[in-house]
Structures are given as structure tokens and as C-alpha cells.
Chain A
Amino acid sequence: MKIVHSRKSRSAAIAAATALVLVPLAACGGGDGSGDADGVVEIQFWDTQATPARTESLNEIIDLFEAQNPDIRVSYVGLPSDSYEQKVDTAIATGSTPDVITASITDSANWVAQGALAPLDDRFEEGGWPDLISASMVETARSVVPDHQLYFAPDTGLANTMWLNLGILEAEGVAVPTTWDEFYDAAEQLTHPERNQFGYIFRGGAGMFPQVLDAMYGQSGVSSFFDDDGNSTLNDPRNVAALERYVGLFGNQTASADLTNEYTNMVAQFASGSGVLMNHNIGSYQDHVEALGAENVLGLQPFPSAGGPVTVSGATVLGQAMFAESEHPDEAWRFIEFFLAPEGNAIWAEQSGKIPSNLEVAEQDWIVEAQPLQAAIAALNDPATQVLREPFYLPEYNAIAKTQLEPMWQAVLQGDMTVQEFLDTAAAAYTEAEASYRERVS
């Protein structure tokens, strides 16, 4: 009997152990409870590009916001930029999205296609923001979605920039280039592989497409991504010629390791002086200043193209979006507004080194003194400037660039594929995507 008894208790013990394992774990969950007894509403805020520096500025902004809005508490969640997409996709698929999220135009296009974001037009109007925020940035934000509504409030903008290490140019007596021809000459003069100095920094790896577009359309002067019939202009002969010339830089005026270059490596090269000229958006300004000192950093806007006009691409915007399933849309919007208002906008733009969307902030001293930001604003505001609008509204836009074009681009640089083949394939893919898009919306 004793044995039977002990066995019975053992079975019970195992069952209990199983339960014990699972139950308390569930019990210590929760914590996303919104709304306290004292009437404080908690909103969830996801940052998709978290780095220590960025987290610090966002926390500063949150502290200020909470001090002015004692009825709202913001719960910050920082997501690594390499993996936030998986997290957000899962959250959308399972209906567990936060209230507010930092968004780029590609993000917003993606999430709008999944029906996850809330349109902000009415709130934006009511708050009187159309008069206070850069109209072109708002237009860019709208242009990336099929229904042309505003799904994220643009707080900062980016522009592609040609960065120069002025210290090295001066030391070598090379003049600051003002045309594409001078640029190629400068790259050649500045290249001294034997002492670890290359004239230009090439982007062969992740995120290579903006640099390719800038080089192509900037030189060729072609002004739109598609022609009127919806055919991609990527393989326009002028673009092919432009890109062929540009590819000629690789391995000659660049390090051969640039084949797989992405942002981190590029900035490291620029900071260490092993690369002198670099095309990257304005977002890296702070990194350059920190490494080289403001006096050694120059940021140029695109040189005039063969046809005459300056063509800028990569004029993208960043901002804050609200998920449609937010239970506290009013509070979430108040937080988003904080990024648009002068105080928050200035902190955010200055610390991230981007162009502020608030018109008043754009006139502040620190902006006027920051040459690259000034140059970008001037180029964007110049009526003669052509702006290349990328079709971010195509849900495949980024996927094609990432999964198809990036490996092919590396094949081109390794000499396994011609520029013509590369651009033909790219053009075909985007033309097809555009065609099915037109079919859907018509």
C-alpha cells in the first residue's frame, strides 16, 4: 500500500510540477496594463532604430513630454534596426501593435499595405500643422501610399549628400569639386592605395540602391522613375551610360572591400580617413562631425547633370506613425505632436543630425550654421531642382532592391554581369510591379 500511495502522490507531483512550471510564469506576465487608478494613460512607443545615443535623446523627449502631460506615460521600447521588421510584422499579424512607432517612408508603405496604420489627416489639419510643417515633406509622406493620405507625421527629413573630408582635400591641394567631371578627377587624385587612402567610398552591400539612383539620375538628368506609360527609366541609355561611368570607380578609386560595404563600414572608412569622398544621406552628419570635427566635414548637394538641372533623389522623410488598433489614439496623437512642435522637433532633429520639418526650427541658429543641412535645404527649396520620386508606394519596392538587385549589383562589381543587364532586369521588375499596381488602383 505504501508503494501505491507514494506512486499516486508521485503522479500528482508530476502533474503539479507541470502546472507549477506554467502557471506562475503566466502570472508574472502582464505589465502592459494601460490606464492606472490615478487616470494616467500609458502608451506604447516603439523605436525601430535603437542605438544608445538615439535612446538617450528619445528618453529626453519623453521626459519633457511627460512633464508637460502628467496624464500620459510613454513606455519606450527600443528595437534593433536589423530585426525590427520581424517584430512589427508579427505584431501586426497577431494584433498586438503598440500605439506609436517611428516610421520611415518604406516602413509606412509596408504597414499601410497591411492595413495597420491609422490615417492622421484630420488630426493634422485640426492641430493647424499644415502651416507649421514643411509642405514638401508632408507631400513626400503622402506620396508613398496609394490613397495619398497622411499615415505618419514627418518630423525630420533626409537628403542624399556628397560628403568630403575637407582636411585631406586641403592637404593634397585638391579643389572642392563642383561638377561630375571634377568629382571623378578628384576621386582619382585622392586615391593612394599604398598608404590606405581611397578617393571614393562605394556602397556595394546592403542599402546600395539610393547611392546607385543618386549617381545615375544625378548625372543623367532623367527626372522620373517611370515614363508616362509606366515603363521604368532605369535602363534609359543615359542612365546606363551614367552608371557605367560610376561603376568604373569601383576597385580603382575605391577599396576592393567596398564590394560588401554598408553604412557602418562606410562611416568607419570616412572617419579613419581611408576614404575621402562618400555619398550617403545627411543622417550620418553627427557621426562625421564627431570623428573629424565640423571644420573638416563638407556636405555637397548633387552636381548639375549633363542636361543642366540638379536632380536630387533620396529626399525621404521620417516621422511618427500611429497604429490603427491603438486604444488611446488621442494620447498617442499628443505624443506625436510633440515631435512636430518646436521644442521636441529641435531636440530630435539636432541630436539625429537631420533636417527638421518644423519651419520655425529650420530657421534656428544651429541649422544656419550647419553647412550640410543648409545646403540640403537650399537645394530642396530651389525651384530649378528636379526631385526624383521613388515609387515607395509599390509594396515590392524595397524587396526587389534588397533580394534581387543587391546580389546582382555585387555581380556587376565583380565583373560577372554588365551594367546593361543589371539595369534591364531592374527596370523589368519595377515596370511589372508598377503595372500590377496600376491595375489594382484603377
Chain B
Amino acid sequence: MAMSVKSSDPLVNRHGLLARMRRGSTPYLLLAPTMVLLLVFLLYPLLSIGYFSLQQYNVSQPWDNGFIGLDNFRAMLADDLFWSSLVVTAKWVVVQVGLQLVFGLVLALIVNEAFRGRGLARAVLFSPWAVSGVLTTTIWLLLYNPAVGVNRYLADLGLGEYGTSLLASGDTAFWAAVLAELWRGVPFFTILILADLQSAPGELYEAAQVDGAGRIRRFWSITLPHLRNSIILATLLRGVWEFNNVDLLYTLTGGGPANATTTLPLYVARVAIDSKEFGYGSALTIAAFVILGLVTVLYLKLTNFGREPNE
């Protein structure tokens, strides 16, 4: 691509070369603040992570520190917890995004209807989205607490047993965390999908109605294709965020019990905070980055993102 500008730009033709050069620099000028901020504050940390991934760097055992080549990466391949955390991460992302999408879609369709109290319903339904991960954890810890949580009141009614908690069992802890994150995550999908529904092609629905197409057929043949691109984008963004979601799991389950909820980024955080193995943590960070990049590219390819629905 040459240093060209949009041919439809009327100013170029009027002001010749000088203007063209200035015009050519305008986008860079507009992007300058962004570039400055990102370069200054993101590039150096990234480079240093790359650097440290080749180092033995443990602040609590400084005598062993030094360049070790690819040893961190070799150790990673032999690290069972790395592999099991990958599995947990994949499960976490797929379950989270899948459930959030389904619930978000259904809710969006519902609150897109006209009914009394719709504004209030929307405000209530969307509100968990504004709550932070740490605060979500706070709330759900109170709900799950065996001594003062919901469970205790259910047991009072004879439902379930005293002294149990969804968080305190290898079988249920994962789903307990899923439920808490769903509470916060569904509104994001609802909002995005609801936004896209605003531009749904009304003529098509009317035509379909005349054809006698049922509600379900209208959904599959008109609504869903229309939402396609925003669903792809929303699932991708959400997938990336859920992949990197540490604050909720860190406080809610700490990765337990018995590592049943240790995702890769949570593992990175624990390596950094508990073991202080900054070198190994950097190597894990790079692995996470690469994996996420590859999966994203693959996902965009597989879904043909950007293709118009009816092409």
C-alpha cells in the first residue's frame, strides 16, 4: 500500500502534492497519542517478559539467577500442572463463552420485545456487568460460605446438608466458579446482541411473516445470520478475557481444590506471587500469548469473520 489517500477525498485533488503529503501524515498524527501511550507503557514490559523467559530469575533465590536459554520452556513441557492448567483453561473458556452466549442471546431477544417495565428490567439485568471481578468474588464468597451462605438456609429448610459448599468439592468448585462468572458475564453478550438487534432488517421479518414462516424459522433464517458477525466478535473478545480472567478465580477458589480450577493465567499468577519464579512465569506468559494468538487466528479463519451474512 502506497502513501496514498482515499481517492474520494476531495481535498487531495485541490491542493496537490504538498497537501497530499500532509494528508498522508494526518492519520499518523491522530494515532500518535495512542502509539505513544502503547509504546511507552506496553512495549517495554513485553520485551522484558521475553528477556526474562530466557532467565532463571527467582528473587527469593538470587544465587541461581542467570541466562538459561530455553530451559524454562523445556521445563514447561515437562510440567504436568502446565498441561492440566491448559485443559482447565480450555474447559473454562468454552463453558463460559458458550453459556454466556446462550443466556445472553435469549435474554437479548426477550428484552428486545416491548413490555411494561422493560427499561427497569434492562437496568437490573445489565447491572452485574459493571461489577468488578474482585467484587463479584466478594459477593459470591458470601453466598457460598458454608456457615453463613445460601446453603445454610437451604439446609434449615431440609434441602441439602449443613457444612457443605459448592466451592469445597472437586466436582462442583469449577461449576460454582462458572456460575459466579456467568452472573457477571452474561450482560455483556446481552448488551452487544441487543445492540445488533436494533438494526435487524425489519422488511425481512415482514416478508417472512407474509410467507407464514414461524417464529423459530424466522430466528434461524433471519435473526441469527444478521447477528453472525457481532456474535463472532463478542465470543472472541469474551473468550480472550475469560482466558485471562484471574482475579475472580484467584480469590474465589485460589485454583483449588487440588488444582481443579487452576487455569494457565492463574498458574502464572501463582508462580509469580507464591514461588517468585519470575523467569518461569515469563515463559508461561509467552506460552499463553502464543496459544491465544494461534487460537484467535484459527477461530477467525474458521468462522470467516467479516463475511457479510448473505454473501
Give B5 Cβ to nearest chain A Cβ, in Å. Answer: 13
Contact status B33-A17, CB under 8 Å: yes
Q: Which of A7, A205, A408 contacts B254 (CB 8 A)?
A: A205
Selected contact of B276 from candidates A4, A196, A399, CB within 8 Å: A399
Contact between B273 and A85 (Cβ–Cβ < 8 Å)? yes
Known A92-B59, A256-B163, A257-B165; judge A268-B30 contact (CB<8 A). Answer: no
Q: A51: CB under 8 A from chain B?
A: no
Known contacts: A3-B15, A260-B167. The answer to whether A114 contacts B62 by CB under 8 A is yes
Of A4, A18, A255, the residue contacting B146 (CB under 8 A) is: A255
Stretch from B93-101, B147-155, B182-190, B283-291 at the A interface: B147-155
Q: Which of B19-64 touch A at CB < 8 Å?
A: 19, 22, 25-26, 29-30, 32-33, 36, 59-63
Is the Cβ of B61 less than 8 Å from the Cβ of A268? no
Give the number of residue pairs across the A-B interface with Cβ within 8 Å: 140
B29 to chain A, nearest CB (A): 5
Interface residues of A in 272-290 (CB under 8 A from B): 272, 274
Q: Is B161 an interface residue (CB 8 A)?
A: yes
CB nearest to B35 among chain A residues: A18
Contact in complex: A260, B256 (CB < 8 Å): yes
The answer for the CA separation of A256 and B167 in the assembled complex, in Å, is: 11
Residues on B with beta carbons closer than 8 Å to the beta carbon of A407: 255-259, 262
Q: Pick the contact of A402: B165, B170, B253, B274 (CB < 8 A).
A: B274
In chain A, residues 1-31, which have Cβ atoms closer than 8 Å to a Cβ of chain B?
3-4, 7, 10-11, 14-15, 17-18, 21
- Check A196/B155 contact, CB under 8 A, given A3-B11, A399-B276: yes
A89 partner residues in chain B, CB cutoff 8 A: 59, 276
B274 proximity list for chain A (CB < 8 A): 398-399, 402-403
| Complex: A376 Cα to B64 Cα, angstroms | 40
Report how far A73 CA is from B197 CA in the complex, Å.
Answer: 60
Interface: A248 (CB within 8 A): no
Q: Which residue of B lies closest to A260 (CB)?
A: B168
Chain B residue at minimum C-beta to C-beta distance from A12: B29
**Residue among A15, A194, A195, A265 making CB contact with B32, cutoff 8 Å:** A15
Interface string of A252-265 (1 = CB under 8 A from B): 00111111110001
A408: chain B residues within 8 A (beta carbon) = 258
**Contact between chains at B59 and A272 (CB < 8 Å):** no
Cβ B163 vs Cβ A115 within 8 A: no
Query: Which residues of the partner chain B approach A21 to less than 8 Å between Cβ atoms?
Result: 33
Q: Which of A349-396 contact B (CB under 8 A)?
A: 395-396
Determine whether the beta carbon of B163 is less than 8 Å from that of A411.
no
B: number of interface residues (CB 8 Å):
49
Is B251 an interface residue, CB under 8 A from the partner?
A: yes
- CB-CB under 8 A for A414 and B257, given A256-B163, A265-B145, A395-B60: yes
**Residue in A11, A14, A259, A408 whose Cβ sees the most chain B Cβ within 10 Å:** A259
Which residue of chain A is the closest to B262 with respect to CB atoms? A407
Q: A196 with B33: in contact, given A7-B26, A402-B274 (CB under 8 Å)? A: no
If A113-B61, A193-B161, A274-B147 touch, whether A259 touches B32 (CB-CB below 8 Å) is: no
* Most chain A CB inside 10 Å of its own CB: which residue of B11, B36, B168, B254: B168
A85 to chain B minimum Cβ distance, whole angstroms, is: 6
| Interchain CA distance A259-B270 in the complex, whole Å | 20
Q: Taking the complex as formed, is A140 at the interface, i.e. its CB lies under 8 A from any CB of chain B?
A: no
Assess whether A204 is interfacial by the CB under 8 Å rule: yes
* CB of B275 within 8 Å of the partner chain: yes
Closest to B171 in A: A414
A232 within 8 A of B: no
A86 at the interface (CB under 8 A from B): yes
Q: Does the CB pair B61–A395 fall under 8 Å? A: yes
Query: Is A410 engaged at the interface, CB distance under 8 Å to the other chain?
Result: yes
B86 in contact (CB, < 8 A): no
User: Is A325's CB within 8 Å of the partner chain B?
Assistant: no
Q: Which residue of B lies closest to A440 (CB)?
A: B63
**Given contact pairs A113-B61, A274-B163, A258 touches B270 in the complex (Cβ within 8 A):** no
Task: Indicate whether A172 reaches chain B with its CB closer than 8 angstroms.
Answer: no
B162 at the interface (CB under 8 A from A): yes
Q: List 12 A-B residue pairs with CB atoms under 8 Å apart, sorted by A's residue number.
A: A85-B273, A86-B273, A113-B61, A256-B161, A257-B163, A260-B254, A260-B256, A269-B146, A272-B148, A395-B61, A402-B275, A403-B275
Interface residues of B, Cβ cutoff 8 Å to A: 11, 15, 18-19, 22, 25-26, 29-30, 32-33, 36, 59-63, 145-148, 152, 155, 161-165, 167-170, 173, 251, 253-259, 262, 270-276
Enumerate chain A interface residues (CB-CB to B < 8 A).
3-4, 7, 10-11, 14-15, 17-18, 21, 82, 85-86, 89, 92-93, 110, 113-115, 193-196, 198, 204-206, 254-261, 265, 268-269, 272, 274, 395-396, 398-399, 402-403, 406-408, 410-411, 414, 416, 440
Closest 3 A-B residue pairs measured CB to CB? A255-B163, A257-B146, A196-B162
